[in-house]
Amino acid sequence: MMESGAPVCHTCGENVGLKANGEHFVACHECNFPVCKTCFEYDLKEGRKACLQCGSPYDENLLDDVEKASGDQSTMAAHLSKSQEVGVHARHISSVSTLDSEMTEDNGNPIWKNRVESWKEKKSKKKKPAKVKVDTEAQVPPEQQMEDKPAPDASQPLSTIIPIQKSKLAPYRTVIIMRLIILGLFFHYRVTNPVESAFPLWLTSVICEIWFAFSWVLDQFPKWSPIDRETYIDRLSARYEREGEPSELAAVDFFVSTVDPLKEPPLITANTVLSILAVDYPVDKVSCYVSDDGAAMLTFESLVETADFARKWVPFCKKFAIEPRAPEFYFSQKIDYLKDKVQPSFVKERRAMKRDYEEFKIRVNALVAKAQKTPEEGWTMQDGTPWPGNNTRDHPGMIQVFLGYSGARDIEGNELPRLVYVSREKRPGYQHHKKAGAENALVRVSAVLTNAPYILNLDCDHYVNNSKAVREAMCFMMDPQVGRDVCYVQFPQRFDGIDRSDRYANRNTVFFDVNMRGLDGIQGPVYVGTGCVFNRQALYGYGPPSMPSLPKSSSSSCSWCGCCSCCCPSKKEPKDPSELYRDAKREELDAAIFNLREIENYDDYERSMLISQTSFEKTFGLSSVFIESTLMENGGVAESANPSTLIKEAIHVISCGYEEKTAWGKEIGWIYGSVTEDILTGFKMHCRGWRSIYCMPLRPAFKGSAPINLSDRLHQVLRWALGSVEIFLSRHCPLWYGFGGGRLKWLQRLAYINTIVYPFTSLPLVAYCSLPAICLLTGKFIIPTLSNLASVLFLGLFLSIIVTAVLELRWSGVSIEDLWRNEQFWVIGGVSAHLFAVFQGFLKMLAGVDTNFTVTAKAADDAEFGELYIVKWTTLLIPPTTLLIVNMVGVVAGFSDALNKGYEAWGPLFGKVFFSFWVILHLYPFLKGLMGRQNRTPTIVVLWSVLLASVFSLVWVRINPFVNTGNSTATTSSCIAIDC
Ligand SMILES: O=c1ccn([C@@H]2O[C@H](COP(=O)(O)OP(=O)(O)O[C@H]3O[C@H](CO)[C@@H](O)[C@H](O)[C@H]3O)[C@@H](O)[C@H]2O)c(=O)[nH]1
Ligand SMILES: [Mn+2]
Ligand SMILES: [Zn+2]
Ligand SMILES: [Zn+2]
């Protein structure tokens, strides 16, 4: 268990230090748990006299020593241990409340009623200043508050567009055009100069090259006008958080989705939740909804613990303004945490917090350990009743609210954000639509309970890394100049724990730093599934408010790209039927709002009758409370809402039959039909004319984890590619969907086409990667002997490719290494995962098999990239391995051939070997991954690949026995196919 050398203290991360006799300090002789002397003494003063790890009491002698050394600090210890008691007490309460607030459809639930009532009460008194906020602010030492800058002007815009420098962009665009021209000439040459001796090879290669050129165009032109943006958080505060007035910032509902607590460790989810609860935003405007698709009691129980731990963690974060506010990642930062933190109490409180967190971790890990083996009779809750989710495919909807206005307060007595556990109903025979279905359930639950106008959704492993992230998003959403037509603000995905060289391009830097910024200059980034703030109204299927008047304004200025001619739709927008329909819908909506106001005095039954007269039920489903909530464009819950209705409704709207015969997943909410629901959902919004915004704050807003071992990574890429093929084959295919409204800009459409056709590039890619080997084995080549003109063309093409890359790196700031990794993984993923995705996609369409969403496992601990070397057997590994071997055999064969033939064979050999090396170089990270750490490759992979490769090579060797130098040229020119 213990490492040799100097052990590091588990609490503070420093060396445990030495005892008087020169040995390492050991606090617990039972388990040798590393704790340094300082932390140990501190624990004792706190009255914790047992080992944190194994629970055995500490050594008496050690105790005596320490007690002698400290006597003066007893007052503080007493004080702290008192507050600890409070903590324990409160935890007790929160778990009790879990038990008696049974997740049933019982609408007389007293806790619920109280909560809703007091919340309503608060709403009526909301004119009072936000006291809680002032309190926490006062505790922040002046050094940590904003410096005294000139007071920000609230009337100025909250964000600006910063165009990429002309000097960087102009040459980039020039080279792109030149590359296009050279490509044209190149293809003219290629097509008019067939290789007579190897016609099929030549034809294949030309087809492949044309496809590559086409996919280059799809990828390149959406990057035509990239932009950057700057936000002004201080102006946001100045405008919406005026002193002495209640904060006017808009409320935000946070969504966290989780499904399998064994693959997605509860500790990871807990960290995400904690980072949300501690965001730098008014507490009464934050609610956190956790969707548990696995209906796991483990998730539920760890959320109980999390809610309790948040009571200490949140005030600590706010008091010392620490970052990030996910404890695991905060405590594992390898920086000098004392820097900039001058408050004397900080060191002490940090130490105590660290200890508390360790205890929290132990409690959660104990829950995980307990959950490893499901008891035969299923799980039972603490009060003895069976857990309703024991059958994960057949269970009722479950909702539990923690914290919040009427819930437990933090240890300083301040209110905490609401935390809501949601597990939607699952029944056999009902499609649950994976993550998209979970998000839609959350949309409805949150609409009923809090109805914030904005929604931020996160995967369970993506924690808030920048506590001001929501404010960043609000700089766009709440700016009347910008926010009106914005459907969502997407943040880039950033990752922790990726190997330094990022072998499998997990960071996706090229996508997040180049492509997405390009899209931001057109109609906005695509939605990537996490780290995204939505405008709730956009999820309800409406078009952007200003759309009908677009034709008039577009002629004067295009605020999106600056160059109107390129991206704005034609000025004379036709009034197509869908347009008229939407207008009608808006009017209908206005009328309904009006009606609702008129009929305040009517009872619920009459009101719901009235609502159902409209067509809303067909769209939103049979919940009048939900429908009413959709009519409040600025969010909030209807004052007249009856608490008992709310409870019933929350459960009602997550029932599995709720979405039947509605537009959920078809026109509204997250869209169904693809495992990459994100692309589809964003695409729908862009088609309706919304724009999205890409926000890249200096400190990354959110951080997640990524699968770093080869097999998991390939499976992830497979799922993404499969999702794209599914969209390609669906009615939402960007090639033909959504032309009617004319609201999707054509460059944006190009980008969407690119995201759904890229898996098909795998077919020419596999062909092209085997070509060099075939050439080497047969002695033929795909290019005829070069003329001068042809050489110039080849050189020009080669140069233009390199120069575009260089110029792209220059404006985007991406490193050359990242670009190269991206290229490599494009080939690796292309010849394996994408290839399988194409086949599976068509299989699905033809045979009607449903694709499943395989969640990627998230590493729980910092096992120092141990994960990187795991190789799990999967069919995905076969094609790239085969290609590798065939090419290596080809190179060897080529050389031996040249040796046999003598001097004149070396010239042509060079060209072929060059291509072969191109393939091998691209597949190199794959080879490394395959070798694992101990060079142990799964035998099946080796067997299959060797088999395929040798069969392949033998066939060619038989046709073209180049060892026999005598008549080989004659044979090669006459036999080009296997059947000769
Ligand atoms: O039935 C399901 C399946 C998945 N999830 C959640 O979906 C998220 C993403 O799953 P993950 O395995 O981490 O997929 P990644 O490939 O890492 O995710 C990327 O790609 C997905 C689309 O394939 C997007 O949904 C994600 O937001 C995006 O981060 C996780 O929070 C899961 O808990 C559910 O809630 N219900
Ligand atoms: Mn993930
Ligand atoms: Zn220590
Ligand atoms: Zn111990």
pLDDT digits (tens, 9 = 90+) for 762-792: 999 999 888 888 888 877 777 777 677 888 8
Structure confidence at residue 855 (pLDDT): 75
Question: Measuring from atom 27 of ligand 1, which residue has the nearest CA?
Answer: 529
CA of 293 relative to ligand 1 center, distance in Å: 11
How many of the other CB atoms lie within 10 Å of CB of 876? Answer: 24
Query: Where residue 63 falls among pLDDT bands split at 50, 70, 90?
Result: low
Determine what percent of the chain is predicted with pLDDT higher than 70. 73
Angstrom distance (rounded) from CA 714 to CA 878:
12
Instruction: Identify which of 520, 556, 576 has the alpha carbon closest to the alpha carbon of residue 742.
Output: 576
Structure confidence at residue 955 (pLDDT): 62
Angstrom distance (rounded) from CA 690 to CA 752:
15
Structure confidence at residue 364 (pLDDT): 92
CA of 530 relative to ligand 1 center, distance in Å: 8
Could you tell me if the CB of 260 is within 6 A of ligand 1? no
Task: Indicate the top mutation candidate among 259, 264, 269 to test ligand 1's pocket, ranked by most ligand atoms within 8 A of CB.
Answer: 259
Question: Measuring from atom 26 of ligand 1, which residue has the nearest CA?
Answer: 529
Query: Where residue 582 falls among pLDDT bands split at 50, 70, 90?
Result: low
Question: Measuring from atom 13 of ligand 1, which residue has the nearest CA?
Answer: 856
Query: Where residue 172 falls among pLDDT bands split at 50, 70, 90?
Result: very high
Structure confidence at residue 568 (pLDDT): 38
Average pLDDT on 413-439 reads 90
Least confident of 226-240, 421-435, 568-582: 568-582
Could you tell me if the CB of 678 is within 6 A of ligand 1? yes
CA of 707 relative to ligand 2 center, distance in Å: 8
User: What strand order describes the sheet that includes 398-403?
Assistant: 398-403, 418-423, 286-292, 252-258, 454-459, 532-535, 486-490, 691-694
Structure confidence at residue 150 (pLDDT): 55
How many of the other CB atoms lie within 10 Å of CB of 95? Answer: 17
CA of 78 relative to ligand 4 center, distance in Å: 25
Is it the case that residue 565 has pLDDT exceeding 70? Answer: no
Average pLDDT on 233-245 reads 88
Is it the case that residue 117 has pLDDT exceeding 70? Answer: no
The closest ligand to the CA of 713 turns out to be 1
Is it the case that residue 146 has pLDDT exceeding 70? Answer: no
Average pLDDT on 686-703 reads 93
Average pLDDT on 726-740 reads 88
pLDDT digits (tens, 9 = 90+) for 438-472: 999 999 999 988 899 999 999 999 999 999 999 99
Query: Where residue 48 falls among pLDDT bands split at 50, 70, 90?
Result: confident
Strand, helix or coil for residue 849: coil
The token duo for 797 is 């093409």
Residues contacting 393, CB < 8 A, separation 6+: 426, 427, 428
Is it the case that residue 571 has pLDDT exceeding 70? Answer: no
Query: Where residue 340 falls among pLDDT bands split at 50, 70, 90?
Result: low
Determine what percent of the chain is predicted with pLDDT higher than 90. 33
Structure confidence at residue 742 (pLDDT): 76
pLDDT digits (tens, 9 = 90+) for 247-284: 889 999 999 999 988 888 999 999 999 999 999 999 98
Geometric angle at alpha carbon 40, from 39 and 46, rounded to 5°: 90
Structure confidence at residue 443 (pLDDT): 94
Could you tell me if the CB of 265 is within 6 A of ligand 1? no
Structure confidence at residue 393 (pLDDT): 87
Angstrom distance (rounded) from CA 676 to CA 669:
14
Q: Which residue has the higher pLDDT, 823 or 26?
A: 823
pLDDT digits (tens, 9 = 90+) for 791-804: 888 889 989 999 99
Beta bridge partners of 668: 664
Residues within 5 Å of ion ligand 2 by Cβ?
A: 459
Angstrom distance (rounded) from CA 495 to CA 263:
18
pLDDT digits (tens, 9 = 90+) for 936-967: 556 666 666 776 777 676 666 655 544 444 44
407 contacts 665 by C-beta, under 8 angstroms? no
930 contacts 877 by C-beta, under 8 angstroms? yes
Average pLDDT on 18-38 reads 78
Question: Measuring from atom 23 of ligand 1, which residue has the nearest CA?
Answer: 676
Residues within 5 Å of ion ligand 3 by Cβ?
A: 9, 11-12, 36, 39
* Cis amide prior to 266 (ω within 30 degrees): no
Average pLDDT on 686-695 reads 92
Residues contacting 160, CB < 8 A, separation 6+: 229, 230
CA of 263 relative to ligand 4 center, distance in Å: 29
Angstrom distance (rounded) from CA 853 to CA 873:
19
Could you tell me if the CB of 714 is within 6 A of ligand 1? no
CA of 505 relative to ligand 2 center, distance in Å: 14
120 contacts 114 by C-beta, under 8 angstroms? no
880 contacts 735 by C-beta, under 8 angstroms? no
296 contacts 261 by C-beta, under 8 angstroms? yes
Least confident of 117-131, 309-323, 333-347, 391-405: 117-131
Instruction: Identify which of 300, 254, 274, 284 has the alpha carbon closest to the alpha carbon of residue 421.
Output: 300
Structure confidence at residue 633 (pLDDT): 72
Q: Measured between alpha carbons, how far is residue 895 from residues 903, 962, 966 in Å?
A: 12, 11, 18
> In which element (H, E) is residue 534 found?
strand 532-535
CA of 459 relative to ligand 1 center, distance in Å: 6
Is it the case that residue 330 has pLDDT exceeding 70? Answer: yes
Angstrom distance (rounded) from CA 417 to CA 112:
16
Instruction: Identify which of 575, 554, 886, 879 has the alpha carbon closest to the alpha carbon of residue 745.
Output: 554
Structure confidence at residue 638 (pLDDT): 66
Structure confidence at residue 764 (pLDDT): 94
Question: Measuring from atom 16 of ligand 1, which residue has the nearest CA?
Answer: 716
Average pLDDT on 672-700 reads 92
Could you tell me if the CB of 723 is within 6 A of ligand 1? yes
Structure confidence at residue 148 (pLDDT): 46
Of these ranges, 80-84, 191-195, 291-295, 858-862, the one predicted with the greatest mean pLDDT is 291-295
Average pLDDT on 197-213 reads 89
355 contacts 43 by C-beta, under 8 angstroms? yes
How many of the other CB atoms lie within 10 Å of CB of 179? Answer: 22
Least confident of 194-198, 362-366, 621-625, 976-980: 976-980
Of these ranges, 208-222, 599-613, 649-663, the one predicted with the greatest mean pLDDT is 208-222
Could you tell me if the CB of 459 is within 6 A of ligand 1? yes
The token duo for 225 is 């006008």
Average pLDDT on 923-935 reads 73
Angstrom distance (rounded) from CA 307 to CA 416:
10
pTM of the predicted model as reported, rounded to 2 decimal places: 0.78
Average pLDDT on 880-900 reads 82
Could you tell me if the CB of 264 is within 6 A of ligand 1? yes
| Nearest ligand 1 atom to alpha carbon 260 | 33
Question: Measuring from atom 9 of ligand 1, which residue has the nearest CA?
Answer: 459
Task: Indicate the top mutation candidate among 263, 494, 855, 856 to test ligand 1's pocket, ranked by most ligand atoms within 8 A of CB.
Answer: 855
Could you tell me if the CB of 294 is within 6 A of ligand 1? no
Residues contacting 943, CB < 8 A, separation 6+: none
Phi, psi of 406 (to 5 degrees): -105, 5
Could you tell me if the CB of 266 is within 6 A of ligand 1? no
Task: Indicate the top mutation candidate among 257, 292, 703 to test ligand 1's pocket, ranked by most ligand atoms within 8 A of CB.
Answer: 257
CA of 16 relative to ligand 3 center, distance in Å: 7
Structure confidence at residue 33 (pLDDT): 79
ipTM: 0.95
Geometric angle at alpha carbon 344, from 343 and 349, rounded to 5°: 90
Structure confidence at residue 275 (pLDDT): 95
